[in-house]
Structure 1
Amino acid sequence: MRIPYAPSGPAEPTPENLAIYDRIRERRNPRPLIPLDLALLHNPNIADGYNTLMGAIRTHSSFPFALAELAICYVAVLNSAVYEWTAHAPIALKAGAKRAVLEAVLNRTWRGTTDHVAVSVDEEMVLEFTEQSTKNIRVEEELMERLKARWTDRQVMELTMTVGGYNMVSRFLVALDVTESNGKTMEMPVEQ
């Protein structure tokens, strides 16, 4: 990492900082704090806000989980965020994303049907939205209309926040080289 990781306990153990560390540990439970947490904990208040936002995106969204994870994985690919890919590709598969589609996302060959990979209409919309939002910022009106015809306003907002939130994460991970993953190869998770 380009700066040292923060300690796994607060440098200033005020009641407020201790509570922040506890909230982050609670969200990660049963795992310990991860390198991303230790990068963010240089400022406990920012880490706390991040934890709240990303926890809500991950656990309080009505948008289909497998599609959200597919979007997160594509953000990782588009932004060369190896750590983000490594963390979320297995989650996407466990959530029900098809291995062949995830591999097509990794190889950027998901458009249309190639090599016997059939990307569903929903997957294609989510991937196109993710690409437009990540690369262009502005999303074409025609695509927004299709998203709104398919999902509720709440779900369109949740997809938008998921893509935006994980763009923030990937930019943080890559800029600071959290886990020293920059330059490593993104690989498909091992089949289980």
Structure 2
Amino acid sequence: MRLPYVPNPPVDLDAAGRAVLSQILARRGASGLISLDWALLHSPIIAGGWYSFFGAIYSGSIFLHDLLELAVCRVALLNRAWYQYDGHVRVLARCEGFDLVKLKIQWAVLRYADAMTKDIAVHDTVFRDLRNSGLNDREIIELTLTIAAYNGVSRFLVALDVGERNSKPTVIEATDPSNSSSS
């Protein structure tokens, strides 16, 4: 990371900071804090807001979890946010398998994530395909918010090199034949 992580365990936290730390530890469970936590805890109140916001995306969303993780992984891949990608691809791998019934929705989600991430403005045909994929208005709102939020996450992670993963290729990048320099 470009800045030092907060000490382990964090020191000099006021009562509000200690409360946020307790909430993060409860959320992480036995795995404990991760590099993202150590970075965010420089600003405990903002870290608390961060975890409330992303907790709401995961616990309050009706959007299918595998499609949400697919969108998050796509954003991370496009932004070369390897730390984010590595964490979420593991979650995606544990999701139920893809099937032909969901294929239309999956492609629409990927195209929408691509447009929001690379172009920001979403072309009408991409949005129409998403709309025609079978998602309802609430699901589209939740998907849009998730993609936008995780674009913010990847930009935070890459700018500060959280997890020290941005200078190292991820497994996908290292094994992608299109990235081969041999001719």
Give the TM-score normalised by the residue count of structure 2. Answer: 0.85
The answer for the alignment partner of 1:172 in structure 2 is: 156
> Which residue number in structure 2 is paired with residue 19 of structure 1?
19
Does structure 1 residue 78 correspond to structure 2 residue 78?
A: yes
Which of 162-171 and 3-12 deviates more? 3-12
The offset of 1:2, in angstroms, is 0.3
Take 1:7 and 1:52, find their aligned partners in 2: how far apart are those partners?
23
Q: Deviations over 1:141-187 (max 9, x none)?
A: 23223323421211101101111111111111111111110121222
- The CA deviation at 1:140 is 1.6
Task: Kindly indicate whether residue 116 of structure 2 is the aligned counterpart of residue 126 of structure 1.
Answer: no
> CA separation in 1, counterparts of 2:39 and 2:61?
26
Following superposition, the deviation at residue 10 of structure 1 comes to: 4.3
Q: How does 1:1-192 map to 2 (within 5 A)?
A: 1-98=1-98, 120-149=103-132, 150-187=134-171
Aligned equivalents of 1:9, 1:183: Cα separation in 2: 27
Is the partner of 1:63 in helix, strand or coil? coil
Deviation at 1:67, TM superposition (A): 1.0
Paired residue total: 170
Q: Matched residues in 2 for 1:88 and 1:38: separation?
A: 18
Supply the AA of the counterpart residue of 1:17: G
What are the ranges of 5 or more consecutive residues in structure 2 without an aligned counterpart?
173-183
**Contact 2:16-2:45 at 8 Å conserved across structures:** no
SS at match of 1:120: helix
Q: Which runs of 5+ in 1 are unaligned?
A: 102-118
Contact conserved, 2:75 with 2:147, CA < 8 A, in 1? Answer: yes
Alpha-carbon distance between aligned partners in 2 of 1:31 and 1:3, rounded to the nearest angstrom? 23
Q: Displacement, 1:96?
A: 2.2
TM-score, normalised to structure 1, is 0.82
Task: Give the whole-Å Cα distance in 2 for the aligned partners of 1:29 and 1:2.
Answer: 27
Q: RMSD in angstroms over aligned alpha carbons?
A: 2.0
